[in-house]
Amino acid sequence: MVFKFTAAFFLLCLTVLVNAVGLILVMRRMRVAKGAADPHFWPPAWLLIRLAACVVAIHALAIAGWAAFYWWQHCLPTFESALYFSVITYTTVGYGDIVLGPDWRLLAGVEALTGILMCGLSTGYFFAVVNRLHALRAHAGELP
């Protein structure tokens, strides 16, 4: 039981680290002011598309980490089933067509809770970018 709680805590920490590093890299790479400065539709839209793609890629990397653990510990028979289960659990869709054995069920709850938190973090960041775009365009006199 101690190993499972330790594993859950390690995976939670790894997920937060992947999301934090990923968002920091995205922040350094994308300049919101560049997309907002252009009065046309496509530059800010393209900025948001790239941001969404980066955020999804960050989550996919975190999900793959959970799946790799499930596969490594033989919680699920194939990496494909582990990845599917991890996507469904992390996103809290929870179809229930694949489940972990009784010994590992608590880990799924930790993954779901971690997924909710990390999706909330991404949503907050996305909102901050949209808010910044709006403020820059309003300052430029493009918005009422």
Q: Residue 74: helix, strand or coil by DSSP?
A: coil
- The reported pLDDT for the residue numbered 142 is 59
- The reported pLDDT for the residue numbered 136 is 77
N residues, the chain? 144
Q: Give the containing element (helix H, strand E) for 104.
A: none
Rounded CA-CA distance 50/6 in Å is 35
- The reported pLDDT for the residue numbered 64 is 98
Domains and CATH numbers, the chain: 2-20+31-139 (1.10.287)
CB 15 within 8 A of CB 65: yes
DSSP string, 36-54: HHS-SSHHHHHHHHHHHHH
Q: Is 118 exposed, middle or buried (0-12, 13-18, 19+ CB in 10 A)?
A: buried
Q: Is 76 exposed, middle or buried (0-12, 13-18, 19+ CB in 10 A)?
A: buried
- The reported pLDDT for the residue numbered 42 is 79
Per-residue pLDDT of the chain (144 residues; tens, 9 = 90+): 899 999 999 999 999 999 999 999 998 887 665 655 566 777 788 888 999 999 999 999 999 999 999 999 999 999 999 999 999 999 999 898 999 999 999 999 999 999 999 999 999 999 998 888 888 777 766 555
Q: What is the CA radius of gyration of the chain?
A: 19
